[in-house]
Amino acid sequence: MDLFLMAAVAAAFGWALRVRDQGQRIALLAGYLSRYRIEKHMETLSEGYLRALGEDDLQRREQIWQLLHATEQELCNQVARLANDFASAGEDQVRVSKLAVWLPFASRVRALSFDMRAALALHAAGLREAMRERDDLPARDRAFTAAAELFLLQHTCHWFCKSRFIASARLLARHKTSYEQVVAAVLPQTRAAYTALVR
């Protein structure tokens, strides 16, 4: 009975720690995100890309791409500003556990964690490059890569707030795409920098 009671107390303590830690992370990131319309722009672009790719009329498809261009540029600017703002957050607030599931104090061990400030900086650079106007890349391929960059940014934010497992489950539920597929679809330079950071 004593062993059962001790296990129950330990589980309750662990649960309380997780709730507190995740609540602090959500509040921290939300405080920075509230200054921008990043989520709204991401939603607009995701829907716009799908609409453009499904459009049979070439002229109408080109009009959609043109309309999305201003949103792409605004999103790039806002993510860059978010990364710049978040760089001022304290070291003890920005470490993210590399483990798939949440464990108490894992984010405090440097070998088991990565810096969210660095992650946001590489996402900002990846988005800007993916959304750059290019004559040598079909709009369809550009949209595919840009969407992957967006999804990976969203995954990283969910990972920061909860865990890698939860972030991957949300990615699969929302976009019907696995974490591995998204990492494979981003720009090579994003993939290299991201992999070096989180593994």
The pLDDT value given to residue 110: 83
pTM beyond 0.75, yes or no: yes
The pLDDT value given to residue 152: 97
Ordered DSSP codes for 66-79: HHHHHHHHHHHHHH
The pLDDT value given to residue 9: 61
Query: Which residues are CB-neighbours of 169 under 8 A, at least 6 positions away?
Result: none
Q: pLDDT tens, 91-147? A: 889 999 998 887 777 778 888 899 999 999 999 999 999 998 776 778 888 889 999
Q: pLDDT tens, 14-29? A: 556 666 778 788 999 9
Instruction: Please say if the pLDDT value at position 54 is more than 90.
Output: no
Give the integer Cα–Cα distance in Å for 14 and 11.
5
16: Cα within 13 Å, side-chain hemisphere: 6
Cβ atoms of 148 and 186 closer than 8 Å: yes
Instruction: Please say if the pLDDT value at position 154 is more than 70.
Output: yes
Nearest-CA neighbor of 46 among 179, 154, 156, 181?
A: 154
